[in-house]
Amino acid sequence: MNPFLQATAGAGGVVLTGAVDCACCPPFSLTGERFAAGRRAAAPAARASSQARGKSRAAAAGARRIDTHHHYYPPSYLKESSKHHDGTVSHTPPWSPALTLADMDRGGVETAILSISAPGVWFGDKAAARVQARECNEYGAQMVRDYPGRFGLFATLPLPDVKGALREIEYAFDVLRADGVVMMTNFDDKWLGDPLFAPVFDELERRKAVVYTHPTVASCCRNLLPGVPGSMIEFGTDTTRTMASLLFSGTTSRCPNIRFLFSHAGGTMPFITERFTRLAARKDLAAKLPKGVMHELKRFFYDTAQSAHPMALNSLRELVAVSQILFGTDYPYRTAKDTVKGLTRCGFSAGQLQAIDRKNALRLFPRFKA
Amino acid sequence: MQMVSTAATSIPWQGAWPCSCCLPGGHARALFAASRSAAAKSSASGGKKSKAAARPAGPRRIDVHHHFAPPRYVKDLGAKNLFNGSPGSARATYEWTPAMSLEDMDKGGTQTAVTSVYNGSALANHPQARRIARETNEYAAQMGRDYPGRFGSFAVLPLPDVDGSLREIEYALDVLKADGVFMMTSYGNQWLGDPAFKPVFEELNRRKTIVYTHPHGPDATEGILPGIPPSVIEFGTDTTRTIASMLFSGNAVRFPNVKMIYSHAGGTMPFILERFTRIADTPQHKGKFPRGILYEIKKFYYEIAQASHPYAMSSLRSFMPISQILFGTDFPYRSAADMGRGLVKSGFSPREIAAINHGNAAKLLPRFA
């Protein structure tokens, strides 16, 4: 067992405090005041969360939300990714399991499906990526065990190393019982429909897996505009690119059992739906989409992280049924409470909100039904 | 400067075409080839056609996103450099005539189209960009004279050549009476807030000019997704980038008299508006927006070409006053009738549609009111 895992298991929730003041944090954060509050709340939250361990579920009384866009930062990952700071992410806010649980409790989140955010574990070295992916997955699985019912796990893969990814899929699903996998929207400027990744999608299709994608910044588009972080514009468009790549390569038609989940309400895709439908009319591409591009777009799932506002969700609702929209926060960049508040301003009915908060996600993750 | 009429004297433009959907076909091609050579030969007296230019009844749309391709522009830049393989591009490169524009305008209830070049990135950095820009703007001005009330002009500038652009602004606005200027969303790795373009915006601010921007796939993203044309994803994003560039460089606040029009409902900006407002609140940008970033965003104009559908409009409408939304078609890639239908499907009231079709643009371009 890794030393940091022992620390997790033994620390009663107050773990990884080293991560709180990590070197990559700039002197501000997007939600500075809120994070300051989070820091102050860390100690009591740790107590609360230690009570929450075992069968107790303080958060279960209310909406019992399932947050499908929720980041975690294993110490090994923080250490490694901070070595490769390339402007993809503007900063990494403070994080610990205690802070995570405190935010979940405040926002009525019963379960958070953990995932690594951008930049992911690929920095050009296969062996290092395999080690990182495994450590992230072990750490996540340990959190799932430590706080029953509170966490699920999207396993990290060492892509674009396909062989390593196939091995990690086997381990993550068969041994760690992961709830799905997380993929960056591109690896080394290869979007997910690239033929290189076909064996990975074939295996995930066989397993009827949930594939959650998280945006990153393509290498073309780093630091293009002074004062504008990559997450502001480039994230959205990279999700849109990978959706196009998956659709027009025929990957989504070939893998009807994969449940694709896209971040941030689909990046920017819903807004430019007509560009997709018009392109799909082209003969060569129509052949790749025998049921039509709309069939695929309407079966995908979309999370609400950073998109719980009418500008995004009015557009998304024109495209898909409410059944395809999942609650997501982007914690620790945004809070659960903030996202909940945003959703109430989007004109959903109470029943629709319940579906977004929990019921839709239960179709993907039935083990959280209890 | 030789003043050559743009009027196709041998071809009537009003409602005479058997069927616009056959345009790419051989018959139409032959006709347009004929009209093009007729245009080249005819004199300024072709302006007599103007009396046929009675204002059409109906929506009286003012189309602010309407491409034209003067024969010299196509010849100078090279058809093979302009043509990108799409049917719309074929029409623009090989078939465009004023008659073709007018036919679509009449069918779709467009009173006035404010023309801008297509594939403007082919002009940027062309060794003869100044001359080509000048001749293109002359051609547009002549169209305006030949068909009074039917055509306005967003004059193309030889950017990123700043000195040449300043000279062209003077000529196009003072002599040719252009209605505004046309800019690409980016030139190389420079978006419109780049300090290099400051003298241009200073001059445009002094003149209270309309700046219409058109997207492209910037150099950085060339060939990024094999088989997927840049117009599908990269165009929208580049508009979003240049909006961010205008805002966060301080240009939007610094040059309040410039009237910016962004294509395609703002690219993708409305969908990710919250990203903009949140970044504006960070200490890095403190004090940059004395009236708030939303004030600046709501001061810009957005045209509806390729975005006249509920997916884009439901987003844009959730925060944008109707007064900022303008009619645009992206002709010859899309038609006026098509964009008009999209507006109806997007759930606007008749009054809102009238504002988008005509009223809002008429305030910006009073000579077409």
For chain B, 369 residues long, the average pLDDT of each consecutive 10-residue run is 51 32 34 40 39 62 98 95 88 95 97 96 94 98 98 98 98 98 97 98 98 96 93 97 98 98 98 98 95 98 98 98 98 97 97 98 97
Q: Is B84 within 8 Å of chain A by CB?
A: no
CA A259 to chain centre: 14
CATH assignment of the domain containing A289 = 3.20.20.140
Task: State residue A88's pLDDT score.
Answer: 60
pLDDT band, residue A370 (cuts 50/70/90): confident
Average pLDDT over residues A38-56: 36
The domain B60-368 is placed in CATH, from the list 3.20.20.140, 3.30.70.3450, 3.30.420.40, 3.90.580.10, at 3.20.20.140
Average pLDDT over residues A218-238: 95
Which of 319-348 (B) contact A at CB < 8 A?
A: 319
**3-state class (DSSP) for residue A94:** coil
Considering only CA atoms, which of A150, A141, A170 is closest in space to residue A74?
Answer: A141
Distance from CA of B95 to the nearest CA of A (A): 22
Distance from CA of A145 to the nearest CA of B (A): 35
The answer to whether B62 and B362 are in contact (CB under 8 A) is: yes
* pLDDT tens digits along A62-96: 889 999 999 999 999 988 888 876 656 657 788 99
CA B37 to chain centre: 26
- The chain-wide mean pLDDT, for chain A, equals 86
Residues in chain B closer than 8 A to A293 (CB atoms): none
Residue A53 lies in a domain: no
Considering only CA atoms, which of B218, B249, B245, B190 is closest in space to residue B120?
Answer: B218
Q: Return the structure tokens found at B213.
A: 């921007």
Considering only CA atoms, which of A348, A336, A343 is closest in space to residue A150?
Answer: A336
Q: Return the structure tokens found at B275.
A: 């990203």
Q: Is B107 within 8 Å of chain A by CB?
A: no
Query: A56-65, A281-290, B198-207: which range is least confident on average?
Result: A56-65
For residue A57, pLDDT beyond 60: no
**Would you call A272 and B279 a contact, using CB atoms and an 8 Å cutoff?**
no
Residue A88 lies in a domain: yes
Considering only CA atoms, which of A322, A325, A285 is closest in space to residue A303?
Answer: A325
Average pLDDT over residues A6-31: 30
* pLDDT tens digits along A177-186: 999 999 999 9
Q: Is B242 within 8 Å of chain A by CB?
A: no
Burial A33-65 (b: 16+ CB within 10 A, else e): ebbeebeebbeebbebbbebeeeebebeeebbb
Residues in chain B closer than 8 A to A310 (CB atoms): 315, 318-319
Q: Could you report the predicted ipTM of this complex, rounded to two decimals?
A: 0.87
Residues in chain B closer than 8 A to A307 (CB atoms): 274
Distances (CA, A) of A84 to A121, A122, B326, B361: 10, 10, 45, 49
**Would you call B271 and A309 a contact, using CB atoms and an 8 Å cutoff?**
no
**3-state class (DSSP) for residue B86:** coil
Q: Is B241 within 8 Å of chain A by CB?
A: yes
Task: State residue A233's pLDDT score.
Answer: 97
Give the total number of structural domains in chain A.
1
Identity of the residue in B281, B285, B319 whose CB atom sits nearest the CB atom of A311: B319
A304: containing domain: 59-368
For residue A12, pLDDT beyond 70: no
Residue A265 lies in a domain: yes
pLDDT band, residue A1 (cuts 50/70/90): very low
Q: How far apart are CA A325 and CA A319, in angstroms?
A: 11
